[in-house]
Structure 1
Amino acid sequence: MSFLRKIFKKKKSVKAGEDLSGQAAFIPEDYFGNNLDENVKKIIETLGNSSDIIIRKMEIGRTGRIAIIYTDGLADDKLIDNNIIGELLLTKESMDGTISEQHSLHIIKENLISISGVKSIYDWDQLFHSLLSGETIILMDNANEALSISTVGGEKRALTEPSTELTIRGSRIGFIERIRTNTSLIRSRIKNPNLWLETMQIGKVTQTDVAIMYINGIANDKVIKEVRKRLKRIEIDSILDTGYIEQLIEDETFTTFPTLYITERPDVVTANLLEGKVAIFVDGTPFVLTAPALFVEFFQAADDYYFRFDIATGIRLLRVLAFIISIIAPSIYIAATTFHQEMIPTLLLITIAAQREAVPFPSFVEAVIMEVIFEILREAGIRLPKAIGQTVSIVGALVIGQAAVQAGIVSPAMVIIVSITAIANFSTPSFSMAISARLIRFLFMIIAATFGFYGLIMAILVMFIHLCDLRSFGVPYMFPLAPFTPSNAGDTVIRLPIWTLKQRPRLISQKNIIRSGKNQEPHPPKQTASQPKKENQE
């Protein structure tokens, strides 16, 4: 009996997985009938007689009847007219009488359609998914199958520079909303047969295409299996963006730190794949997820690897310093002015006291008022049109800050602290990590106003413990700093010369970790013995 229970459990889980990925259940009622008119009628009824569903019936051969069905706006009309309808009409005129009832769609599939992407489908779920994805369907009378022809077209956005990840050097191309275009951008950079792609459909209503991409032989098999498992476990009506996927497959929900990396740059995804990570593409969004994600990864930019190592290291350290400032600068000011005035130099203390003499609020209330105002201005600048968004945020900050000081609501020192904090927050390359810093900053401000420096130090220690405890698909979030791995520590908050980075991250790849050969260090050419003699002769 226990053996039978296992069998039935397995069958149940497989069906659930198939349903989640948009595959049709193996039910006889889901298959086509032999009558063309009834099949077309079912399509019209199921789609509510939608005006964008184009159905053209044709006769081919003596008694053969077919229906060509596609979605206007999703399919390429010219491709359908020239390579499907045109070919069939030409065949009817020149080969009339050669196709009879005994012929099936196999003749059309193999000999008449001049499009490479043609496949046979056998049930209604496959038909509707293909039809609503921009493919063209051919149904034939007295046939229990249909043809799905790849004619995806419609409008799409041109390849432009990503607006959220600007760089000085490097590629100027970003992802767009078409999943196939996005995967092709990676294919064009990694021309290797081991670059594998798996596609599934998630969302009971939207049937959104979701693809995972990895390099076989470099990516960790356990991570690939875990990513696939978490995606197939999703049961939801719709997937509209990678944010849905991120929130449904992340390791830890109750944390402000992102455990999946989000990017819209093909070169960043390519670099992550070469490190052994897995990329997750979602149709309809230009943002791609990569996993596992590491804490140090959020302070690295694409052009760090296009500059010399000393310049890249200096910029990375500056980003880390800016991140620390964006988290604790207001908290330090609040703790110092509220509990630890003896730590402030005397002249500076007198200046701050003189500025705060007419301010009716404590430092904490001052900081909260200014931080909330800056957050409102930042949000307004994002939501407004680009032409006026930046102007409103900059001018608004200057005007409100000056007016608040003149009105005696806040002190000039607090305006300076909050302004430096806001500017430092913009230095973080990852928007996800920058938002985390903004949330943590408010928490630290409350702790500093309540417990002073002692509470602030304890809060920082708790944050570090939390970071060390986080995992991203089983990989420690603070790797390679904790656990410390010397062979991978050269590409963290610092960046050693590129010829020293010989190994991929060990806890991510775990196989084929060597990515460069020996003796890659550049050497100047050796001076020959004949050269000094020629110079002496001259």
Structure 2
Amino acid sequence: MLASNPVLGPNNLPRKLWKDWPPTDTLGENLNTNLTILTEQLGDNSDFFIRKFNIGSTDIRAAIVYINKISDIKTIQEYVLKPLMLDLSNTDVLKLDVSYDFKHYIKDHVLPLCTISETQFLYEVIEKLLAGSTALLIDGISGGLVLGTGSTAPQNFEEPASEALVRGPKIGFVNSLDENISLLRTRASDPNLRMLKCQVGERNKKNLVISYVDGVADPDLVDEVKRRIASIKIDDPLDSGYIEQLIEDNFMSPFPQVQSTERPDRVIASLLEGRVAILTDGTSYVSIVPVTFSMLLQSPEDYYVRWIPASLVRLLRFFAAFIALLGPAIYISFLSFHQGLIPTKLAISMAGTREGVPFPPFLEALIMEVVIEILREAGLRLPKPVGQTVGLVGGLVIGQAAVEAGIASPLMVIVVSLTAISSFAIPQYDAGIALRMLRFVAMFSAALLGIYGVVMFTLFLCIHFVKLKNFGIPYASPLVPYRLNDWKDFLIRAPLSMMKLRPKMMNVQDQTRQREDPMERK
């Protein structure tokens, strides 16, 4: 039984499994009707183009349909439009039967292309379009010709330095918006992937593309993203960071409320979860909304390895985040207020290491933390070879000199070093910055009230987490509110065979992302 709308599948959702299209979904003889059907399916994309023209100097109407950037425009102009519009003589056209052998004549004698195929089915045309081919449709002829015009331009994509992986695609975005769109198109063949182009900037216009998967993403979320971007009134958004700051919910929060990435695989995975990506011209960073704090501790590599090591590494990241936030504060509170809670032998050893140190634990930790932050910032601003040397040698030399001069104890150097290393274990740089800032607040709380100050700081932080929302999604999800299904990809990463549903916190239209295998495993 066919659906009433040839573009929609069951439950009036856009079709996603094109191989399941019934064979009766074909292209008819009316050119305008065929273009309308294609426009309904792909027309929301800014890179979807239709070029109508007359064949030769006759009244025969035709059109080519292609996706920009993944199709070679020069090939289309030189080997498709020019032969059909200029080189084809009227004599050749008039002696042919348009309804019978005209299409075969064009295929065999007019178009000098290596790959030309005929098709009657709508799903085949869309599959080929998303692979870089061009569809030629002629009025009065059913079906169409699919022309091999895929772009063969060399790619100079490199792995992003800020998100390097041991296993996974070694490819990242570049500063060109068109190239980034092409990169997503070549890696995501979903016909429901939408690319909506808009402009931001009162004086200097900046091109943006809002990307989402139609039929998966929540329409209210997409509309909210469009509304916030349309409300931006700034002279020139120089980078995606401007856009992120202008569309976030709470500018007073220290936590990042927009996820930024240079990895196409992370963007595609986010789109399939029902999230929205914002591509900005002139930058290699793509913004993704909404985001929760747990997402900032996830890495694409978690899904490229087996679930047991991936889960252990993810738990290690959560522990590293805890150390990066509260490590020095706990050390200060125990050493300054709660020495009785420290085991006797350890307390004697710690007292011995602090002999001769003139500063209290808080001031000692503050000096070392500030020095580490200065070294980290200096290493980022210097050229890479010099920066790495300054960071490594500077840390070793200053730490050793501080111990020998009696400014800091060896144990404090260990705590500060462990804290700095733990912050590097967080995959998202923005999340690491937030924890580094809050670390100083936690240290002040510990210096004032000891462990009670650390507890109060943690409670206030939890209250802020629970109250903070990101495009209507609680920032503490899936912890609060509690959703059992979403916990399969929270503290641990469950086996892929168990992750059959998309995150419920995203309010997606299509909840299922892994269909049941029709053949049971023996």
TM-score by length of 1: 0.68
Cα distance 1:314–1:520, how it changes in 2: closer, same or farther (>3 A)? farther
Equivalent residue, structure 2, for 1:449: 447
Note the C-alpha offset of 1:259. Answer: 1.0
Equivalent residue, structure 1, for 2:408: 410
Equivalent in 416, 426, 429 of residue 428 of structure 1: 426
Note the C-alpha offset of 1:451. Answer: 0.7
Cα distance 1:421–1:170, how it changes in 2: closer, same or farther (>3 A)? same
SS in 1 for 2:278: strand
- The answer to whether residue 189 in structure 2 is matched with residue 181 in structure 1 is no
- Partners of 2:413 and 2:182 lie apart in 1 by 48
The 10-residue stretch of structure 1 (460-469 or 262-271) with the greater mean CA deviation from structure 2 = 460-469
Note the C-alpha offset of 1:518. Answer: 2.7
Equivalent residue, structure 2, for 1:347: 345
SS in 2 for 1:181: helix
- Partners of 1:349 and 1:515 lie apart in 2 by 54
Equivalent residue, structure 1, for 2:51: none
TM-score by length of 2: 0.70
State the one-letter code of the partner of 1:229: R
- Partners of 2:302 and 2:518 lie apart in 1 by 19
Cα distance 1:520–1:161, how it changes in 2: closer, same or farther (>3 A)? farther
Cα distance 1:310–1:522, how it changes in 2: closer, same or farther (>3 A)? farther
- Partners of 2:177 and 2:518 lie apart in 1 by 37
SS in 2 for 1:389: helix
Deviations 1:269-323 (A, max 9, x none): 0000000000001000000001110111011101110101111000000000011
Equivalent in 207, 210, 219 of residue 209 of structure 1: 207
Equivalent residue, structure 1, for 2:394: 396
Equivalent residue, structure 2, for 1:262: 260
Equivalent runs, 1:273-288 vs 2, <5 Å: 273-288=271-286
Equivalent residue, structure 1, for 2:58: none
- Partners of 1:356 and 1:157 lie apart in 2 by 57
CA RMSD of aligned residues (A): 2.0
- Partners of 1:228 and 1:218 lie apart in 2 by 17
State the one-letter code of the partner of 2:289: A
SS in 1 for 2:513: coil
Q: Quick check: 1:157–1:176 contact (8 Å CA) kept in 2? A: no
- Partners of 1:316 and 1:162 lie apart in 2 by 21
State the one-letter code of the partner of 1:386: K
Query: Which structure 2 segments of 5+ residues have no match?
Result: 1-72, 87-152
- Partners of 1:418 and 1:337 lie apart in 2 by 15
SS in 2 for 1:465: helix
Equivalent in 188, 195, 198 of residue 197 of structure 1: 195
Deviations 1:75-97 (A, max 9, x none): xxx98xx98xxx9xxx9xxxxxx
Equivalent in 385, 388, 392 of residue 387 of structure 1: 385
Cα distance 1:252–1:371, how it changes in 2: closer, same or farther (>3 A)? same
State the one-letter code of the partner of 2:460: V
Deviations 1:93-120 (A, max 9, x none): xxxxxxxxxxxxxxxxxxxxxxxxxxxx
Note the C-alpha offset of 1:510. Answer: 2.9
Note the C-alpha offset of 1:493. Answer: 1.7
- Partners of 1:315 and 1:351 lie apart in 2 by 32
- Partners of 1:440 and 1:259 lie apart in 2 by 16
- Partners of 1:197 and 1:488 lie apart in 2 by 28
Equivalent residue, structure 2, for 1:117: none
Deviations 1:400-447 (A, max 9, x none): 000011111111111010000001111000101000110010000000
Cα distance 1:285–1:521, how it changes in 2: closer, same or farther (>3 A)? farther
State the one-letter code of the partner of 1:437: L
Cα distance 1:187–1:156, how it changes in 2: closer, same or farther (>3 A)? closer
Q: Quick check: 1:301–1:429 contact (8 Å CA) kept in 2? A: yes
Higher radius of gyration, 1 or 2: 1
State the one-letter code of the partner of 2:258: L
Equivalent in 296, 316, 319 of residue 318 of structure 1: 316
Equivalent residue, structure 2, for 1:151: none
- The answer to whether residue 267 in structure 2 is matched with residue 251 in structure 1 is no
SS in 1 for 2:454: helix
Cα distance 1:522–1:369, how it changes in 2: closer, same or farther (>3 A)? farther
- Partners of 1:337 and 1:521 lie apart in 2 by 62
Equivalent residue, structure 2, for 1:40: none
State the one-letter code of the partner of 1:199: K
Equivalent residue, structure 1, for 2:360: 362
Identity of aligned residues (%): 45
Note the C-alpha offset of 1:157. Answer: 9.0
Equivalent runs, 1:86-105 vs 2, <5 Å: none
Deviations 1:496-535 (A, max 9, x none): 1001111111121431111112359995x5xxxxxxxxxx
Cα distance 1:494–1:522, how it changes in 2: closer, same or farther (>3 A)? farther
- Partners of 2:231 and 2:503 lie apart in 1 by 28
The 10-residue stretch of structure 1 (438-447 or 180-189) with the greater mean CA deviation from structure 2 = 180-189
- Partners of 1:206 and 1:443 lie apart in 2 by 40
Q: Quick check: 1:156–1:178 contact (8 Å CA) kept in 2? A: no
Equivalent in 204, 228, 231 of residue 229 of structure 2: 231
Note the C-alpha offset of 1:490. Answer: 0.1
- The answer to whether residue 340 in structure 2 is matched with residue 331 in structure 1 is no
Deviations 1:309-360 (A, max 9, x none): 1110000000000110111110011001111110111111112112222111
- Partners of 2:398 and 2:221 lie apart in 1 by 50
- Partners of 2:484 and 2:442 lie apart in 1 by 32
Note the C-alpha offset of 1:158. Answer: 2.6
Cα distance 1:341–1:378, how it changes in 2: closer, same or farther (>3 A)? same
Equivalent in 506, 510, 513 of residue 515 of structure 1: 513
Equivalent in 490, 493, 497 of residue 495 of structure 2: 497
Deviations 1:198-253 (A, max 9, x none): 11111122201011000111000011000000000000001111100010000111
Equivalent in 304, 328, 333 of residue 306 of structure 1: 304
Deviations 1:15-71 (A, max 9, x none): xxxxxxxxxxxxxxxxxxxxxxxxxxxxxxxxxxxxxxxxxxxxxxxxxxxxxxxxx
State the one-letter code of the partner of 1:508: M
Equivalent in 484, 487, 494 of residue 485 of structure 2: 487
State the one-letter code of the partner of 1:300: Q
State the one-letter code of the partner of 1:262: S
Q: Quick check: 1:499–1:520 contact (8 Å CA) kept in 2? A: no
Equivalent residue, structure 2, for 1:158: 156
Deviations 1:461-492 (A, max 9, x none): 11111111111100111112211111221011
Equivalent residue, structure 2, for 1:30: none
Aligned residues: 376
Q: Quick check: 1:157–1:177 contact (8 Å CA) kept in 2? A: no
